[in-house]
Structures are given as C-alpha cells and as structure tokens.
Amino acid sequence: MSRTLTAFTCSACGFESPRWLGRCTACGEWNTLIEEVRERAPKGGARPSRPRAVPQALADVEPDAARRISTGSDEFDRVLGGGLVSGSLVLVGGEPGVGKSSLLLQALAAMGAAGRSTLLVSGEESPAQVRMRAERIGGVDHISILAETELETVCEAIVELRPEICVIDSVQTLASADLASSPGSVAQVREAADRLLRIAKGHGVTIVLVGHVTKEGTVAGPRVLEHLVDAVLQMEGDRYRFLRVLRAVKNRFGSTNEIGIFEMTDRGLVAVADPSAAFASDGPAGPGSVLLPAIEGSRPILLELQALVAPSDLAMPRRATTGIDRNRLSMIVAVLGRHAGVALGSSDIFVNVAGGVRIDEPAADLAVAIAVVSAHRGVAPRAGLACFGELALTGAVRAVGQSERRLSEAAKLGSTEALAPAGTVSLAGVTVRTAATLQQAIEEAFA
C-alpha cells in the first residue's frame, strides 16, 4: 500500500523541503514554498521493466532529424534562429492581451497551409471562440483543435494524431488526475512539462507551450519549467500600444540576441518591415529627446530615448525607467555628478525608451546621459543627433562594436550628426563628433 507524503516546493526554483519555510534556502525568495501531496510506492515493490538503453555514436546520428520548420513569419523565424526545430519544446510567455495566442494561431494557419499537420489544444477558450478569432485573422483552415484540460487525454491525443506542430494554450490549465493539486500549481505544471517533453523528444512532435506571467514579468510556475524547454520566448509591449517585441530569453538552437517586431492590427500581428521608422520620432527633438542607434541581434534599430528631470519633494528622489535597467541609470547619474559636474541629487529622473523596447547593451549609456543633461538644462541637443557609447566609472567614453552599421541606420532616417566614442570614423552623409570623456561629449552635444 502506498504512503501519502507532504512536501513543500519552491515556485521560483523548484527546491523541495519536508517542512514549510518562510524563505527558500536555495534561491532566497520569500513565501514561495507551496504544499504538495504525493504518494510514494511501498518498499519492496517490483519496479516496472524497461528496455535497456544502448549508447549511440554521435557521428551516426542523422543531422536531418532536427530539421527546421518555418512558421510563415520572417520575424518569428528570426527569433527562433531559423524556424521551429522538429521535436523541440518551446515556451512562449507574455502579459494577458499582448498577442501570444494570436501570433501562434497565425503560425499554425501558415504551417497548415504549407501542408503540415497542426493541432491546437485550447484550455481557456471553446472551439467556437477560437474559430471566431481565427476568422478575424484569416486562419480557419488546416488547423485541428482539441478543447481539453486533462493532461492524460491531451497526451493520448498527441500520440495518436502525431501532428508535426502542437500548440498548448496554456500549460497552466493542464491538470493530471494522478495529482491532488489544482491546475496551475507547481506540481501540475512540472508534471505537464515533463510528460510533454518526453512526447516531443520520443515522437518528434514540435510542441509550443503558452505560459502565463507573474506581476514581475517572469513566466509563472516553477523555474524548472524554463530549464526543461528548449527555448523560452517572451512577448513584450504595452497592450494599449500597437507595437509588440518578441525576444528569446533562452534558445538552444539559436541566438538569444535576436528580436522580432510586430504591429497589432485588426487582422492579427503583422511584421514591421522598418523598425527604426516605427520607433524613432518623426517630429523635431525637444529637450530630453535623443536618438540611439542600437544593435539587437543581427540588425540595427534607431530608437528614441526620452528623459525627464524635475525637482523632487522627497527625501530620496525617484529614479524610474522604462526599457533600461534602473541600476544602470543610477550609475550614469553618479558619473554625471562626479565627472561632469551635473548635480542631480535633488531631482526626480525618469527615462523611457519610446515604443516599449527594452535595451540592455552598454552602448546606450552615452545617449541616456545626454538625454538626462538635456532634460536638466531644458535645452535640446543638436537637431537629429544620434548618440552611442559606453560610459566608464572614470567618466571615459568607451568604444562599442558595429559603429558603421549604427551610423548607416541613423543616416537612413535623416540623422546628419552623431556623437560617438573617440576613434569612430565618419560615414557618408553623417558627421561624427567624437569624445573621449563624458565632459567632452556634453560640450559637443550642446555646442
């Protein structure tokens, strides 16, 4: 007779403890341990026999076994590294209403029209509701749908139908009858991901999981879910705006630096042909506005950085950012105060990347600094000025890679001047003003 056991599992990292703890000893998060009821087989019970695994020489493995499957969207394929890999398990996360289900429904319709067998497992919408949305985006044909939330039934259907591509919307709605916990719990999500992973690898079925996100913006469920899957894609963007950015957080088959940019329309998500024109401002730059030629993966994008500096009534002035790291802004403000004489200790500072894009590269440091100084002085920098460069703690402006491509992208949208680190060579149509220190860069930007 089996014994019933109780374990506490951390929803952040998957750590297990026999008793409840206020703080996880593995990852340090607070109030993340959730109780799970499990059954353990009795001692002395016979283990089921399994076929013996035989090692195989890596040179004998067929390289075509993991072929690429195009999703019908160049932007989607770019983020995946060339398309979906056969037999892979992909997790797509994003806030509610950002367009995850619409994007995957369009991809299923395109792959089905190309002659591939597809299956959509819907746990949140009825088949009639899915059809209504599919008619709006023009993808009714070539898609099979299964409205089911029981994990065993879903796995049996996938094994029986053997579709080339299967989308599970969403993994948090699946529940196994063997577990006593509710759908969406740590145990249920982990069990669902484990079973679907074995089906994907064992039967060569490409499975895409749709995942909910927490209020911090991370995929809900245990962290082991992100470790199990082959790729984790995150869809970003304000649902009240029309632009969406798809980026890879993890990708075993490609780069994590690529991004896909889409526009939300009444016909679904449409790839943006010229991202720079969509993100950069068309009007004249005002105080606090600076252009940044950024590099995302293999393509340059011209972005608009906006800053606002205002006197603060608080003992600790605010440092709020959208699209860049807040700690990076604090470092830039400290460098401005120490090496450029720009006192901002009693001011609230807000920095925003227009369009909802997130920038992580250090090349944005100089653009952020010039935007903050411009907002602080209330004076706009040179018209059409594009800035890029990394700031050192010593106040020096360091060189960054792919300067020629950055300048070329800025020139396409009409920028005639650029502020860059020393040693940057001018390009046809763009006059480059170089600076070795932050103080020199400020003088060149407002001369």
What is the β-pairing status of strands 231-236 and 385-387? unpaired
* CB distance 358 to 271 below 8 Å: no
Q: What pLDDT was estimated at residue 1? A: 47
Q: What pLDDT was estimated at residue 89? A: 95
Q: Pick one of 3.30.572.10, 2.60.40.1170, 3.40.50.300, 1.10.1040.10 as the CATH number of 67-273.
A: 3.40.50.300
Q: What pLDDT was estimated at residue 147? A: 94
Give me the CATH topology for the region 277-445: Ribosomal Protein S5; domain 2 (3.30.230)
Euclidean distance between CA atoms 220 and 172, whole angstroms: 8
Neighbours of 403 (CB within 10 A): 22
* CB distance 71 to 86 below 8 Å: no
Domain ranges of the chain: 3-40, 67-273, 277-445
- The tens digit of pLDDT for each residue in 56-99 reads 898 887 766 568 999 999 999 999 999 999 999 999 988 888 88
Q: What is the dihedral of CA 270, 271, 273, 276, to 10 degrees?
A: 100
Give the residue carrying structure tokens 């009007």. Answer: 283
Q: Write b or e for each residue in 216-233: b if 16 or more Cβ atoms lie within 10 A of its Cβ, otherwise e.
A: eeebbbbbbbbeebbbbb
* CB distance 8 to 34 below 8 Å: yes
* pLDDT < 50: residue spans in the chain: 1
Spell out the SS3 assignment of the chain.
CCEEEEEEEECCCCCEECCCCCECCCCCCECCEEEEEEEECCCCCCCCCCCCCCCCCHHHCCHHHHCEECCCCHHHHHHHCCCEECCCEEEEEECCCCCHHHHHHHHHHHHHHCCCCEEEEECCCCHHHHHHHHHHHCCCCCCEEEECCEHHHHHHHHHHHCCCEEEEECHHHCECCCCCCCCCCHHHHHHHHHHHHHHHHHHCCEEEEEECECCCCCECCCCHHHHHCCEEEEEECCCCCCEEEEEEEEECCCCCCCEEEEEEECCEEEECCCHHHHHCCCCCCCCCEEEEEEEECCEEEEEEEEEEEEECCCCCCCEEEECCCHHHHHHHHHHHHHHCCCCCCCEEEEEEECCCCCCCCHHHHHHHHHHHHHHHHCCCCCCCEEECCEECCCCEEECCCCHHHHHHHHHHCCCCEEEEECCCCCECCEEEEEECEHHHHHHHHCC
